[in-house]
Structures are given as C-alpha cells and as structure tokens.
Amino acid sequence: MKELLLEVKDLSVFYTIKSGEGFFQNKKIKMKAVNKINFKLYKGETLGIVGESGCGKSTLAKALLGLNKDLSGSIVWLGKNIEKQGKQEWKNTRKDIQMIFQDPLASLNPRMTIGDIIAEPLKIHFPNMNSKELKEKVQQMMQKVGLLPNLINRYPHEFSGGQCQRIGIARALILEPKLIVCDEPVSALDVSIQAQVVNLLKNLQEQTQLSLIFIAHDLSIVKHISDRVLVMYLGNLVEIANYEQIYNETKHPYTKALMSAVPIPDPKVEKNKKIQLLEGELPSPINPPSGCVFRTRCPLADEECAKNIPMLQGENEHFYACFKVND
Ligand code: SF4
C-alpha cells in the first residue's frame, strides 16, 4: 500500500502588500496568492507543479516549508498538522523536508567552501558529530551527486551552474530527507545540463525512495520526472492527474495551451504542430476575474464562466476545473 507523506487540504496562502504609488504607497492589501488547493503526496512519488510565473507555485512551496505562515487550511505531514507542531517537532519535520532552489549559484553562500555548505544542515541537526565524520559524510554525498570529493575545499564561484546545482542537491540530501521540494531547479541551466540534473534526481530517488515536488513553468521539463502533475493558474489548481492522463487526455484549456508548447521529438509532427498561444497577461491576484480565473484568456469562455466558479470534477484520479470539458 502507498504510504501517505503529505496531505494539503484547502490551503490558501496570503501576502500583505503595499498599494498606491510613490509617497502614497501606504495602504496595505492582503492578497491571496494560493487559493484552496488540495493534493496528496505519497512515498517515492514525484508530483510536478506547473504554471506561469506568478501563478503561486513557489508561494505554495514556501508554505510547505513553513516559510509563509499567513495561511488557511492545513498542511498535514505524516498525519500531523505542521501548523500545530511545537519548535522541536517542527525541527524534526524540517529535517525530513528539504528544498532545492532555482538559482544554483545565488543559493550558495560565496564565502563558504562547498564542504561547509553541504555540512551545514548536519551541524545544525547533529551538533555532536565530529569533523572527521562530517567530512566523510560530505565526501560520500559529493560522490553520490557526481562531484569529485577532493573539491571539498573549493568555493561556489569555482563551479559551473550544473555543478552548483549538484552542490545544492548534496546539501538537500545530506540529512536523508523524505521529501525534497525542487523550486524550478533547472530553469537557470542550459538544456543539456537540465537533463543531467533531472536524471540525477531520478537516480537518487530510485536509490532512496525519496519523494519530490518538482516545480516548473512548462510541462516539457516535468514530463521526464513526474508521476503526477498539478497545473496551477492564478493561485488555483486547474487540473491534476497522473503523467499519462495529463499528456494524453488533457482536459483543461489552460493545460492544453501548455501542452501545445511541449516540443515533439518527431521533426515532421513538430513542424506542423499548431501552438495554442495564450493571449493577454496573467491577471493580478489582487483583482482576479469573476467566475473562472482563466476566463479572460480562455478561447472557450462564455457568460457562465464569468458568473460561476468551476469546481474540480472528474474521475479516476483525474480532476479539472472547467465547465466546458465535455462540450
Ligand atoms: S470554465 Fe470557462 S473560462 Fe474556465 S476554463 Fe472552462 S471554458 Fe474556459
């Protein structure tokens, strides 16, 4: 039976921002960046989260790591609501949930050697570990992620972008977590390096039964790593399904637009493919559209879409928020 690690129930995440212009920028507004999202994550599974910049996916990731406290709903980790955890319990949970960041170089402290960067979480959680043990563990981990152990005393600027991301992965893995939240981990890397990093994560996952939440802004990257895919638009979950269903039985018009941009390996098919361009900008979450959040850019939108909010519907673990799917 699949082991449930994480359950997110009706999760909304808020930001307080200042509105007005220049000197008059003093009015505070509470903005809902994530709106009532529900999903589950099982041991060894990868959930891809996809959507345009500003759709709330990184905000969601930060909430899972306890970095955004202004929220409603619940985040349940191994059966316990993380909001209700005390300091020590939360410290143990954070040991199990690690993160890999988008910009590999910027996420590493330039004044620390990579050995110290990778060892830092160990020093926090195992303060009695001696320096010999620390060095051994760090070098083992460096080897695991494809870095030469004798580079332990080098600094981040001496490494390429792909190598820096390997350092970030080593740091995230050193505590043997159960889940790694990967926030656009390959978007700052060259395409050839992207594949290497994705393959590395897949291999590590096979060895350790690790679960991953893999955030990206397009479906082509999550395609190679995800068991299930969650599509977000303007803070809302618009479609969630397993990998095959999302790619072969796409339901929501927004997912269809994202799908049309995924390159097809056959040059003939790719050449004749019709890309469904989305018109207009992503609306502001401060003032979202009435009814369906996607209606201002949806080619199928009609009056009903402006009046009513589509609820998630579907079957066989494939759910989507749209009135027109079966029309
Ligand atoms: S509910 Fe209407 S606006 Fe929303 S995605 Fe479906 S057709 Fe488009």
The sign one gets for the Cα dihedral 316, 60, 163, 134 is negative
**Mean pLDDT (whole number) for 109-124:** 96
Question: Do 280 and 274 form a contact (C-beta atoms < 8 A)?
Answer: no
Task: Name the helix (H) or strand (E) containing 33.
Answer: strand 27-42
Rounded to the nearest angstrom, the distance between the alpha carbon of 124 and the centre of ligand 1 is 48
The model's confidence at residue 205, banded by pLDDT at 50, 70 and 90, is: very high
The DSSP 8-state label assigned to residue 63 in this structure reads H
**Cβ neighbours for 256, distance < 8 A, ≥ 6 positions apart:** 250, 276
Whole-number Å distance, alpha carbon 69 to ligand 1 midpoint, is 31
Residues 222-248 have pLDDT tens digits of 888 999 999 999 999 999 999 999 999
Q: Is the pLDDT of residue 32 over 70?
A: yes
Could you give the C-alpha distances from 176 to 94, 141, 205, 208, 210, in angstroms and in order?
Answer: 11, 10, 11, 8, 9
Q: What is the pLDDT of residue 102?
A: 84
The pLDDT value recorded for residue 166 is 93
User: Could you report the per-residue pLDDT of 132-157, keeping only the tens digit for each?
Assistant: 999 999 999 999 999 999 999 999 99
CB 243 within 8 A of CB 69: no
Q: Give residue ranges with CB within 6 A of ligand 1.
A: 253, 292, 294-295, 298, 300-301, 305, 310, 322-324
Q: Using the mean position of ligand 1's atoms as its centre, give its distance from the Cα of residue 325 in Å.
A: 8
Residue nearest atom 3 in ligand 1 by C-alpha distance: 295
Tell me the best of 231, 255, 298, 312 to mutate to test the pocket of ligand 1, counting ligand atoms within 8 Å of each CB and taking the most: 298
Residue keyed to tokens 């981040």: 156
The pair of three-digit structure tokens given for residue 179, joined into one six-digit string: 């889940």
pLDDT tens profile 72-106: 999 999 999 998 888 899 999 999 999 998 887 88
Location of structure tokens 């978007």: 187
303 C-alpha to ligand 1 centroid (Å): 10
284, 290, 291, 278: which is closest to 323 by C-alpha?
291
pTM of the model: 0.91
Ligand 1 closest atom vs CA 295: 3
Identify whether the C-beta of residue 248 lies closer than 8 Å to the C-beta of residue 267.
no
Which ranges of the chain would DSSP assign to H, the alpha helix? 57-64, 87-96, 114-125, 131-144, 161-173, 191-208, 219-222, 243-248, 253-260, 267-272, 303-307
For residue 51, the number of C-alpha atoms closer than 13 Å in the C-beta half-sphere is 24
What is the per-residue pLDDT for 21?
A: 63
Query: Which residues of 217-297 form beta strands (DSSP E)?
Result: 228-233, 236-242
